[in-house]
């Protein structure tokens, strides 16, 4: 029997959205251009295709809805009754039947109008028939608004239902409200069912899973049941009744002996006897809960007799070794006392019941008839008793006496446990000489054995050197030859102290300069003259720097030492520099090295700004350096993106979007086709 997954049912849209979906798909998936000059057969095919495509969409979507919703007659009886309880089986069937009828009507409308289109004699008549066909289809679906809305509500509720396998190993918990059913389920499974101190906290079926004997078990928590006729029970109670009637499970009937649930033991006993027909052919257990508040021995004799009566109905005389019935157990979900025992007893009882049921089935006898156990035929009369191999008895005796061989695990437990004990692997080495096992292993460095260069008397020699140093130090202290400390300035005169202070100042300055250069990595900015307190930026330093770079500093030194010109003189010299004759420009030609062609400079000013290349730049002429500078400037020029997202964007946008340049629509014109 398959496990039903109602979460995969497709969403059922409302009627209006349903119509929009189908018509929009028809508009997108079929041709949209037709002219009155076409042949009439082509026009007929154009509109017939639209009608048929619309009908196909309706048919596929309605068929999907009808197939994915569970059929009451085909699903397990548990789900069939649950559908009847939750959604009213008649209403559910009626909604699905109306959608099925709508699908048939749409198919019939399409067939009739396609037949009429075959004899249409103009584009206008074909278009009119197409609009009439689609209009009738949409009208049919508009009438299914109520059925579609109902089925969508059913789908949402079915998706929220837990996935219950009706035929797997199941523990079903039932009883009055607030007796501890949800608390028991939270203790034995990983489910998290809400627990509150009032009745009907659980309003639907909840499913949890637990493990026992390497098997997965399904635990179902049912809503509380009240003792009243079946016709008066509400939807919440009928879910429990449905589960009890159809699921093959062990039933745990929980009794609250403390009566804090609001119902007496008498009422709980009456409910047990009223729903007793639902327990037929199922393993049953009565569990007394809340024993931490009240023990069974503290009950009145009348209540004890009622519990004993339920015990006799359930147990059928099966007693455990301690005299307690296996079908009458006690527990406390608050202190968890007896919870594990109840779970174990329920699982064992269900396993036994399932095995007995399989043995009573017809298929067991057929399987046993197909099994043949072969028995060997004796070939002679010689006796061949069982023989135990030599050494086995001695090994068994040694193990029994505790004289077995010590293993690594025993040594580990003996010498500190895991993480402390380090296993000795050398003891198992197979060498020619047993004394070689714990030899010092050679350490090889650069092809040489390090142990060959280790002096065995190195520690003794070190101790001897330390002793000699101590003796020399003691002798120096005794002779007064200990060096004077640097901080001891008491024995210096004033002149010596002043000299020491200058030395220390000079040393501190050198250290500070070094640290400053190291910090900025010789990349310090140029200091303006007015902030140059130490006058480092002078003509001499400039001359030394230019000379170190291999340049002639004479012109720069002469210009720096000359009298500064006035503003008017600088302006006149600049204007004279800008005026030059045409013959002077034409004479400014530079030959290129690679192609041998002469390149005429367009601007004398641009050439004058290019200095002679230094050997470190890798350029031989001024022309090559000017060309390199020009290429570098081009490479750094920012790219015109032209509204592109990036270099890889190859999108060519529409130059004139039709909706902006098609003009106003005429009266009655709703499209551009």
Q: Where are the extended beta strands (E) located within 81-227?
A: 170-175, 206-212, 215-221
The reply to whether 138 and 225 lie within a common domain is no
Structure confidence by residue, pLDDT tens digits, 450-484: 777 778 888 888 899 999 999 998 888 888 765 54
* Cα–Cα distance measured from residue 216 to residue 207, given in angstroms and rounded to the nearest whole number: 13
The reply to whether 152 and 172 lie within a common domain is no
In this structure, is residue 62 part of a structural domain? Answer: yes
* Cα–Cα distance measured from residue 326 to residue 91, given in angstroms and rounded to the nearest whole number: 45
Domain at 149, CATH number: 1.20.120.1190
Specify the range with the lowest mean pLDDT, choosing from 172-181, 226-235, 359-368, 639-648.
Answer: 639-648
The reply to whether 36 and 118 lie within a common domain is yes
The reply to whether 170 and 297 lie within a common domain is yes
Angle at 422 between CA 417 and CA 424, to 5 degrees: 130
In this structure, is residue 480 part of a structural domain? Answer: no
3-state secondary structure 201-268: CCCCCEEEEEEECCEEEEEEECCCCCCCCHHHCCHHHHHHHHHHHHCCCEEEEEEECCCCCCCCHHHH
Whether 584 has a pLDDT exceeding 90, the answer reads no
Supply the pTM of this predicted model.
Answer: 0.50
Residue 540: CB atoms within 10 Å: 10
* Domain that residue 230 falls in: 162-362
Q: What is the pLDDT of residue 112?
A: 94
The reply to whether 137 and 228 lie within a common domain is no
In this structure, is residue 661 part of a structural domain? Answer: no
Which of 69, 65, 135 lies closest to 99, judged by CA? 65
Count of domains for the chain: 2
Tokens coding 620: 């031989």
Tokens coding 101: 């009828």
283: helix, coil or strand?
Answer: coil
65: helix, coil or strand?
Answer: helix
Specify the range with the lowest mean pLDDT, choosing from 38-52, 307-321, 452-466, 648-662.
Answer: 307-321
* Cα–Cα distance measured from residue 179 to residue 261, given in angstroms and rounded to the nearest whole number: 6
Structure confidence by residue, pLDDT tens digits, 30-39: 988 989 889 9
* Cα–Cα distance measured from residue 464 to residue 292, given in angstroms and rounded to the nearest whole number: 81
* Cα–Cα distance measured from residue 58 to residue 21, given in angstroms and rounded to the nearest whole number: 10
From 332, 362, 392, give the residue that closes a domain.
362
Which of 197, 188, 192 lies closest to 256, judged by CA? 197
Q: What is the pLDDT of residue 576?
A: 54
Contact of 200 with 177, CB cutoff 8 Å: yes
Specify the range with the lowest mean pLDDT, choosing from 223-237, 252-266, 475-489, 655-669.
Answer: 475-489
Structure confidence by residue, pLDDT tens digits, 319-356: 444 444 455 688 888 888 888 888 888 898 888 888 88
**Residue 191 backbone dihedrals phi, psi, to 5 degrees:** -75, 160
From 341, 362, 383, give the residue that closes a domain.
362
The reply to whether 260 and 151 lie within a common domain is no
The reply to whether 104 and 178 lie within a common domain is no
* Cα–Cα distance measured from residue 649 to residue 637, given in angstroms and rounded to the nearest whole number: 20
The reply to whether 21 and 111 lie within a common domain is yes
Q: What is the mean pLDDT of the chain?
A: 80
Where do we find the tokens 């039709």?
Answer: 658
Contact of 539 with 555, CB cutoff 8 Å: no
DSSP result, 307-352: HHHHHHHHHTT-B-TTS-BTTEEE-BTTTTBTHHHHHHHHHHHHHH
């Amino acid at each position: 029997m398959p496990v039903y997954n109602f979460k995969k049912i497709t969403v059922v849209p409302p009627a209006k959205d349903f119509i929009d979906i189908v018509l929009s798909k028809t508009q997108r998936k079929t041709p949209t251009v037709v002219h009155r000059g076409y042949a009439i057969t082509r026009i007929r095919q154009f509109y017939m295709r639209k009608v048929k495509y619309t009908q196909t969409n309706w048919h596929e979507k309605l068929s999907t809805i009808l197939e994915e919703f569970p059929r009451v007659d085909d699903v397990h009886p548990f789900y069939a009754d649950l559908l009847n309880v939750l959604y009213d089986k008649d209403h559910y069937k009626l909604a699905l039947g109306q959608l099925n009828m709508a699908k048939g009507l749409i198919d019939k409308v399409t067939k009739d109008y396609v037949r009429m289109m075959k004899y249409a004699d103009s584009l206008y008549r074909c278009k009119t028939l197409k609009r009439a066909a689609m209009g009738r289809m949409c009208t049919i679906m508009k009438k299914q608004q109520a059925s579609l809305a109902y089925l969508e509500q059913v789908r949402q509720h079915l998706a929220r239902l837990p996935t219950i396998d009706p035929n797997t190993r199941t523990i079903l918990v039932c009883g009055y409200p607030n007796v501890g059913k949800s608390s028991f389920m939270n203790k034995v499974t990983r489910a998290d069912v809400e627990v509150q101190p009032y009745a009907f906290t659980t309003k639907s079926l909840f499913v949890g899973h637990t493990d026992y004997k390497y098997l997965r078990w399904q635990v179902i928590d049912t809503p509380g049941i009240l003792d009243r006729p079946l016709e008066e029970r509400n939807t919440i109670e009928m879910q429990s009744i449905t589960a009890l009637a159809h699921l093959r499970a062990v039933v745990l009937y929980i009794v609250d002996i403390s009566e804090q649930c609001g119902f007496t033991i008498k009422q709980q006993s009456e409910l047990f006897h009223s729903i007793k027909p639902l327990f037929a052919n199922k393993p049953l257990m009565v569990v007394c809960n809340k024993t931490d508040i009240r023990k069974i021995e503290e009950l009145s004799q009348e209540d004890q007799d009622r519990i004993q009566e339920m015990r006799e109905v359930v147990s059928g005389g099966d007693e455990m070794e301690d005299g307690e019935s296996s079908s009458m157990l006690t527990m406390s979900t608050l202190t968890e006392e007896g919870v594990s025992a109840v779970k174990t007893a329920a699982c064992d009882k269900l396993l036994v019941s399932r095995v007995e049921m399989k043995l009573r089935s017809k298929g067991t006898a057929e399987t046993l008839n197909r099994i043949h156990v072969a028995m060997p035929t004796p070939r002679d009369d010689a006796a061949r008793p069982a023989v135990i191999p030599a050494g086995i008895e001695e090994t068994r005796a040694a193990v029994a006496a505790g004289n077995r061989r010590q293993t690594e695990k025993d040594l580990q437990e003996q010498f500190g446990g895991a993480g402390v004990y380090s296993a000795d692997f050398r003891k198992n080495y197979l060498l020619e000489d047993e004394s070689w096992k714990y030899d010092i292993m050679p350490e090889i460095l650069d092809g040489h054995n390090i142990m060959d260069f280790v002096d065995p008397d190195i520690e003794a020699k070190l101790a001897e050197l330390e002793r000699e140093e101590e003796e020399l130090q003691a002798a120096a202290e005794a002779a007064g030859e200990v060096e004077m400390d640097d901080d001891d300035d008491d024995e210096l005169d004033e002149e010596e102290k002043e000299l020491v202070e200058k030395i220390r100042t000079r040393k501190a300055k050198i250290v500070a300069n070094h640290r400053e250069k190291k910090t900025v990595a010789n990349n310090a900015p140029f200091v303006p003259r007015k902030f140059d307190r130490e006058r480092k930026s002078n003509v001499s330093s400039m001359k030394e720097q230019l000379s170190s770079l291999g340049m002639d500093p004479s012109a720069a030194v002469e210009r720096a030492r000359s009298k500064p010109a006035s503003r008017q003189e600088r302006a006149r010299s600049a204007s004279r520099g800008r005026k030059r004759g045409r013959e002077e420009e034409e004479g400014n030609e530079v030959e290129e090295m690679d192609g041998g062609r002469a390149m005429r400079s367009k601007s004398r000013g641009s050439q004058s700004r290019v200095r002679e290349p230094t050997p470190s730049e890798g350029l031989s002429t001024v022309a090559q350096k000017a060309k390199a500078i020009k290429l570098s400037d081009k490479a750094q020029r920012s790219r015109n993106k032209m509204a592109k997202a990036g270099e890889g964007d190859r999108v060519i946008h529409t130059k004139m979007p039709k909706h902006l340049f098609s003009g106003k629509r005429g009266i009655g014109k709703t499209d551009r086709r």
